Amino acid sequence: MREKLRRVPTGGQATEGAEPDADQLLQAVARGDEAAFERLYDQVIGPVFGLIRRVVRDPAQSEEVAQEVMVELWRTATRYSPERGSAMTWVMTLAHRRAVDRVRSAQSAADRETRVSISEASRPFDEVAELVTMKLEHEQVRRCLGTLTDLQRESITLAYYGGRTYREVGELLDTPLGTIKTRLRDGLIRLRDCLGVTR
């Protein structure tokens, strides 16, 4: 039974012996295929861990969150449907959400009532500097980030890599909330068009 299921993801491949893609693997995982999960793990763990590490920063906590995300991926694979998006996006959405949950719960315990402190106001510049020097694996992403306005890029970076809410981004960049919302959206739209992302 398991052998039969395991063959399913490779069945449609045009190329002989090609590795099944994440979408196919995740669908096999949904049927309880642990071998498919191992292959999926190897495909996604780099981006998953890297993103979590970037948001959470603390290595030990990042490892914990990455583990939780991968186990949750196994547990919830049955709810994945390819029409809604790629498996990679499914996994990365889960990873980002859990990373953000982690930083916000740590933060809210400490400073629920405190607004973003003054010392943190210098952070956007660090983040942006880091983004610029970040070793980007994909030239295209770097090039496309370069087409954004400074405000679009800083807002997106603070929100996505920094795990900030748009309200915090507004305070950090000293910009009205309506403007931040709009910049996050039109910045992503510009990135989408530059990267040629379609669904």
Residues 102-121 that bind another protein (CB under 8 A): 108, 112
Quick one: which of 154, 135, 149, 139 has its CA closest to 190?
149
Out of 25, 37, 39, 124, the residue judged to bind another protein by CB under 8 A = 37
Q: Which is nearer to another protein, 129 or 197 (CB)?
A: 197
Q: Which is nearer to another protein, 78 or 147 (CB)?
A: 78
- Does 49 sit near another protein (CB under 8 A)? yes
Site for another protein in 126-155 (CB under 8 A): 134, 136-138, 141-142
- Does 67 sit near another protein (CB under 8 A)? yes
Residue 16 C-beta: closest distance to another protein, Å: 27
Choices 1-9, 13-21, 50-58, 121-129; region in contact with another protein by CB under 8 A: 50-58
How many residues lie near another protein (CB under 8 A)? 74
Q: Which is nearer to another protein, 10 or 182 (CB)?
A: 182
